[in-house]
Structure 1
Amino acid sequence: MPRVIKHPELRREELLDQAQALFLTHGYDRASLNDVIAAAGVSKGAFYHYFASKEALLEALAERFARQALAGVQDILDDPGLDPLNRLNGLLAQSRQAKVEAAAEAWALFETMFRPENLVLFHRINLAASASFSPLLVKIIRQGVEDGTFRTFDPEGVADMVMQFGMATHGVVAKAIASGSDADMDVAIETLEKRVRLYEIALDRILGLPDGSIRISEPGYVRAVMTARRRTVEQAPSA
């Protein structure tokens, strides 16, 4: 049969689809690059044309998740009836909903990032997400400064603080995962809930808003995301 020639972007997406399916089924560590290459039906040379390593593949999956999340908030960004504060809270609310809905899948793909030896990879994936969302946050905050809703001299710095939340909580999550006990996971959930409240207060103060104006979380959000990880572990196939 003649070789099928596909558009490079289509081929790249197919490789990501195959990798995601294998990582979800077997886990990131157990699925090898050879498994991905075999499932995709391409040569090693063709694969390495798109991705330099397994880590690069995971980063690309993170970037795709970010793009999909970005598409999910476009209606909020385009709504002319929202003022900057409601637009920011709407963006955060939509992000929470997307994370809860995709939590089990995301844990299966990205749990490996929380191992101590993978801190650099965790940072790189956070940078991928930040590249998509930081410009949106900066735009909303600038609009708020212009109309007097927010008071800050550094919109970029505030956006960076929001995006750095994941890095700031890395150690808490990593410790809970390393232990594997329900008790440690519950402690982690409580710690993260307090940390989120602290971030909300800090952002209110930095933006010159009354306490309770910014809502990064909602009751039950942290627990829903973290216990999705627990369910993922319980349902994982044995070796």
Structure 2
Amino acid sequence: MIRVVKAPEVRLTELLDCAQRLFFSRGYDNTTINDIITEAGLSKGAFYHYFASKEALLEALATRMARDSVKELEPLLEDLELDAIGRLNAFFAGSRRLKVEMAPHIRNTFEVIFRPENIVLFHRIDQAVTAVVTPILAALLAEGHEAGILDAPDPQAVAEMLLQLRLILGPVMHKALLQAKDGNVDEPARVLDERLRLYGIAIDRVLKLPDGTIKVAEEGFARALLEPD
């Protein structure tokens, strides 16, 4: 068999892609290094050339996912036609990812990430995302505070608090998805819509903005998330 030589960055990307597929399909705890190298077609020595352990691989994967999320946000965050409030709305809506058209993808991700066997994966991804996006949010808050649009005297501390608030949405979405699988869509959709609305209002009140200023999801998103294809 002819050995295929690839650039290190190509091999690294392939390895991360493979790990992500396996973690999402089998669960982080149920995936071994042997599973990963078999799937990727690499030797164990090649794996350890890139990563010292499965945990190191997980950290790299989480960081990549966080950076990908920020990259999606860049066009809106750099839009000079948007004021600080407009960019904050873009930020909290995840670059408007909480849209009806994105609901199926988000549904699949949540079904995977909140499995009990993926709790380590979830927390590692959250830590990586928080580390990457906190400085961005703090800069937006500082801009808005200096302009007198919102109240954030300590932008870094407020950014950290607002990012912690977002974690309350995950279990609510997951519970709603489980209920919808049993054929009950109306009630969990109503609950999720209300929780998304309250999340936006909580942000408004921390920043001393009028209720309804920050919107974190497009109308109809909850039902689109929960209804099966």
Question: TM range, normalised to the smaller chain?
Answer: 0.7 to 0.9
1:20/1:186 CA distance change after superposition, 3 Å: farther
The superposition leaves residues 157-189 of structure 1 with CA deviations (integer Å, 9 ceiling, x where unpaired) of 332243234421333344445564122x55443
8 Å Cα contact 2:106-2:225 kept in structure 1: no
How far has the Cα of 1:80 moved from its partner?
Answer: 2.5
SS at match of 1:130: helix
In structure 2, give the amino acid aligned to 1:198.
L
1:76/1:170 CA distance change after superposition, 3 Å: closer
The answer to which of 197-206 and 170-179 deviates more is: 170-179
Whole-Å separation in 1 of the counterparts to 2:143 and 2:58: 34
8 Å Cα contact 1:20-1:109 kept in structure 2: no
Residue 207 of structure 1 corresponds to 207
The number of aligned residues is: 225
How far has the Cα of 1:118 moved from its partner?
Answer: 4.0
1:61-210 to structure 2, matched below 5 A, reads 61-93=61-93, 95-97=95-97, 103-105=103-105, 107-108=107-108, 111-116=111-116, 118-176=118-176, 180-183=181-184, 186-210=186-210
In structure 1, give the amino acid aligned to 2:153.
F
- With the length of structure 2 as denominator, give the TM-score of the two structures: 0.78
The answer to which of 218-227 and 58-67 deviates more is: 58-67
- With the length of structure 1 as denominator, give the TM-score of the two structures: 0.75
How far has the Cα of 1:43 moved from its partner?
Answer: 0.7
The superposition leaves residues 124-159 of structure 1 with CA deviations (integer Å, 9 ceiling, x where unpaired) of 211122222221111100000111111122322332
8 Å Cα contact 2:84-2:143 kept in structure 1: yes
Whole-Å separation in 1 of the counterparts to 2:161 and 2:122: 17
SS at match of 2:76: helix
SS at match of 1:96: coil
Whole-Å separation in 2 of the counterparts to 1:222 and 1:64: 27
Whole-Å separation in 2 of the counterparts to 1:21 and 1:116: 17
Over aligned residues, Cα RMSD in angstroms?
Answer: 3.2
Whole-Å separation in 1 of the counterparts to 2:168 and 2:4: 46
Residue 220 of structure 1 corresponds to 220
8 Å Cα contact 2:66-2:125 kept in structure 1: no
How far has the Cα of 1:60 moved from its partner?
Answer: 4.1
In structure 2, give the amino acid aligned to 1:50.
Y
The superposition leaves residues 61-118 of structure 1 with CA deviations (integer Å, 9 ceiling, x where unpaired) of 4433332232222222222232211121233345233776555455545634313454
8 Å Cα contact 2:104-2:224 kept in structure 1: no
Larger helix proportion of the pair = 1
Whole-Å separation in 1 of the counterparts to 2:182 and 2:79: 44
1:203/1:110 CA distance change after superposition, 3 Å: closer
Matched, 1:28 2:26: yes
Residue 234 of structure 1 corresponds to none
8 Å Cα contact 2:12-2:50 kept in structure 1: yes
Where structure 1 has 5 or more consecutive residues not aligned to the other structure, the ranges are 232-239
Where structure 2 has 5 or more consecutive residues not aligned to the other structure, the ranges are none
8 Å Cα contact 1:96-1:221 kept in structure 2: no
The answer to which of 201-210 and 102-111 deviates more is: 102-111
Whole-Å separation in 2 of the counterparts to 1:175 and 1:150: 33
